Structure 1
Amino acid sequence: MSENIIRKQSPLGAIRRLPFPRWTAGVVLLLVIATISHVFGKLFPLVGGVIFALIAGIVIRNSIGIRHVIFEDGVSFTIKRMLKLAIILLGATLSFGKILTIGGQSVLIILAVVLGGIGFTILIGKLLKVDKVLSLLIGVGASICGATAITALKGTINARETQTAYAISTIFLFNLIATFLYPVIGHMLNLNPLQFGIWAGTAIHDTSSVVAVGYLYGNEAGDIATTVKLVRTLFLLPIIIIVPMLFMKNSEQTGKASIKKVFPWFIIGFIIMSLINSIGFVPVEAQEFFTSTAKYIILMVMAGVGLQVNFKKMMNLGVKPFAIGLFASVLVSVISLALIYLLL
């Protein structure tokens, strides 16, 4: 979720004259928050650094605020680029065979979540008399990969900016809630790492929260959740082609889908790293370094996510989009958990 930040000419001009990239200040800020959160996570392991980083970002954003232009690029760079780097690094800690095994165990659950989530969300939207495009965007966001899926689909159905903003804000809110609730529910249900990893990977919306929550639960659960989420993300490719044709009867409402543009290329990096690891080219020491680095980046990402939380804007969402978002989030969670108990 993004927010327009008032840009003043003098600070922006000063930034352009600085001898380092414009994203430097924002990255440094997130690094500081991540370091403090890491320390508190060690002191209070039941809470974990991820939650501390997320809360710190939320508190800063909604109290003193981070409105200065010098931080904006760094926060965006961390969430969009550095998260992908973290995922690629995590690929070096997994064998390709394990990825295939996890993918095979989860693909039917992912398929059920995607089809059920989108279909039933559109149905409940129709019952609530909510615009079909908005319902579709929320359903796709909840079922596949949050804001990324919404943004990708937006161009294929020519959704309005207001519809896209409502959908992203709604999904962001429930993704935020899931970050806090899933580890608690997982421990209450005594889910093992495989069960929790697949549940988080198939039900939590955004990739950042899936990876963070998975590793908060444990290293094995984190590996599984990350892998499952990447398989789930690939379902975006057929969706952006099929969904517009199925749900948008008026051909003028649909646009051309660019597979090259929306394809999650970082998944290729993840697979390549796993192949390199599988043939024994990644020593144990390097794996430990990659894992530690990736986890630190995840702390920075979650701090950045927290800095994007604007409670005032969330309060203006309206009841009906909120109800659809709640329904979609609960639905994909229940479908996933039920199938995990049935199939695993």
Structure 2
Amino acid sequence: MSKTIHINQFINSNIKGFLFVGLIVFISFYLANIEAIYKTTHLAATAFAILLGAFLSPIFFRFEHTLNAGVNFSAKKLLRLGIVLYGFNVTFTELYSIGIYGIIISIIIICSVFFIAILAGVKIFGLDKETSILIGAGSAICGAAAVLAVESSLKSEPFKGIMAVGTVVVFGLLGMFLYPLAYYYGLIPNLDTNSVGIFMGATLHEVANVVGAAEMAKDLSQGEFTQNAANMAIILKMMRVIMLVPFLLLLTYFIAHDKNEKEIVDKKKIAIPYFAFGFLGVIILNTFLSDYKDSILLGISVESLLSFGKLLCSICIVFAMAALGLQINIKKFLGSGKSAFALAFLLWIVLIVGGYLLTLAFRDFI
């Protein structure tokens, strides 16, 4: 009886906020699936969700007492579920096809960009370490998904995560449009088509950015940029995505043992990101099931199950993005936004220049 009452209380306290976020999610998916809008903007539902959430944030703060529980549930619980389900987008087979040099490129990119983010963010741009870590993770690994995963581990204030996601969205979109144009006009010298694909995968922020850039490059070049090059771009990007697991574990370890961060550790009790193991487990499951796509399991095709996993992942991530957008505090965002975007711009330049030089150095091995 008490369990039933507890469940009813949970539903009643969360339902209004959850439905409010759900409305934003519905509109975001609707806009992202309008062909004319997609061809013009190449914006995914995640981008629409955060923009709509930020636009409607005054409503959230006005009715925060009523909406907060459901919005917080979407921003925290559904976020972690989305990160776990993100593993349905990756297989070890795909990662293996690009070889050890792809792993080396990914590790160098992630480590260099992340450490530059911390040093420059704190020393040059005057940002706090948490914000610098979030922007660095988003730029170095896999965009908004990395920001959200790290934010969940650090338990930082929501506006810091939303600033970091904002920078990822802006510079990821810029790269998505500029890379295909640079390829078309011959502004990426000394790299063949496949190497340009590696360059895209090594330096663009989001998986969606890589897919969008590759498709636009194919369209602009009328097939000169091949599907194989597009596949290499996506596979290398997936390598960066899977690096999220060891990154979260190492980040948690070093922060917990950093004497200079003792006050933060004592105050926030940084938790082990167990959802990272869930993410890795889903990658293993996806790798195994991908070899049996034509099989039937419990009356349902394996391919349908995998597609459902990807869809559920997208829904959870979009819910989290919308909820984080709603929690944006415009005054705080504007107060710190300039420094955050300045750091993100620096990291974007580091990604472009460093990624190009790395691709040039390894072009004969991949």
**Shorter-chain TM-score above 0.5:** yes
Instruction: Give identity over the alignment, percent.
Output: 10
Name the residue aligned to 1:37: 32
Q: What is the CA distance between 1:269 and its match in structure 2? A: 0.9
Residue 294 of structure 1: aligned partner: 310
How does 1:124-135 map onto structure 2 within 5 Å?
124-125=120-121, 127-128=123-124, 130=126, 133-134=129-130
Indicate conservation of the 8 Å contact 2:109/2:351, yes or no.
Answer: yes
Q: In the alignment, which residue of structure 1 is the partner of 2:150?
A: 149
Given that residues 33 and 300 in structure 1 are in contact (C-alpha distance below 8 angstroms), is that contact kept between their aligned partners in structure 2?
Answer: no
User: Among residues 315, 323, 336, which one is paired with 2:334 in the alignment?
Assistant: 315
Deviations 1:264-307, CA, capped at 9 Å, x for gaps: 42222122221232366658x75377448736853774475256
| Aligned pairs (5 A) from 1:1-344 | 15-16=11-12, 23=18, 26-27=21-22, 29-38=24-33, 40=34, 42-47=35-40, 50-51=43-44, 54-55=47-48, 57-59=50-52, 61-62=54-55, 67=60, 69=67, 72=71, 75-76=74-75, 78-82=78-82, 84-85=84-85, 87-91=86-90, 94=91, 96-102=92-98, 104-125=100-121, 127-128=123-124, 130=126, 133-134=129-130, 137-138=133-134, 140-141=136-137, 142-144=139-141, 145-152=146-153, 154=154, 167-190=160-183, 195-196=196-197, 199-200=200-201, 203-204=204-205, 210-217=206-213, 218=215, 220=231, 221-222=233-234, 224-242=236-254, 248=258, 250=260, 252-253=262-263, 255=265, 259=272, 261=274, 263-278=276-291, 282=295, 286-287=302-303, 290-291=306-307, 294=310, 298=314, 301-302=317-318, 305=321, 308-309=324-325, 310=328, 312=330, 313-317=332-336, 319-344=338-363
* Pairwise CA distance, 1:114: 2.8
Q: In structure 2, what is the Cα distance between the partners aligned to 1:186 and 1:47? A: 16
Aligned length: 311
In structure 2, what is the Cα distance between the partners aligned to 1:129 and 1:54? 26
State the Cα deviation string for residues 151-184 of structure 1 (Å, max 9, x = none).
Answer: 53x48xxxxx5xx666534422211213422321
Matched-pair contact (CA < 8 Å) for 2:83–2:279:
no
Give the match's secondary structure for 2:40: coil
Task: Tell me: CA distance 1:236–1:225, structure 2 relative to 1, closer, same or farther (3 Å).
Answer: same
User: Which whole-Å CA distance do the structure 2 matches of 1:337 and 1:116 have between them?
Assistant: 14
Pairwise CA RMSD of aligned residues?
4.5
CA contact (8 A) 1:237 1:259 kept: yes
**Which residue number corresponds to residue 9 of structure 1?**
none
- Structure 2 residues without counterparts, runs of 5 or longer: 1-7, 216-229
C-alpha distance in 1 between matches for 2:40 and 2:246:
32
Deviation of 1:13 (Å):
6.7
1:288–1:106 Cα change, 3 Å: farther
Q: 1:187 to 1:230 in 2, by over 3 A?
A: same
TM-score (norm 1): 0.67
Look up the SS of the partner of 1:130 in the other structure.
coil
* 2:225 equivalent in structure 1: none
Deviation of the 1:334 alpha carbon: 3.5
CA–CA distance in structure 2, aligned partners of residues 45 and 203 of structure 1: 19
Shift of 1:315: 0.9
Query: How big is the shift at 1:212?
Result: 2.9
Q: Which runs of 5+ in 1 are unaligned?
A: 1-11, 156-160, 205-209
Judge conservation of contact 1:60–1:307 (CA < 8 Å) in 2: yes
Cα distance change on mapping 1:325 and 1:16 into 2, 3 Å: same
Q: For residues 53 and 257 of structure 1, what CA distance do their matches in structure 2 show? A: 27
Checking the alignment, whether the CA contact within 8 Å between 1:112 and 1:335 is kept in structure 2 is: no
Per-residue deviation, 1:121 = 3.0
Q: Distance in 1 between matches of 2:140 and 2:115?
A: 10
TM-score relative to the length of structure 2: 0.64
Cα distance 1:53–1:143, how it changes in 2: closer, same or farther (>3 A)? closer
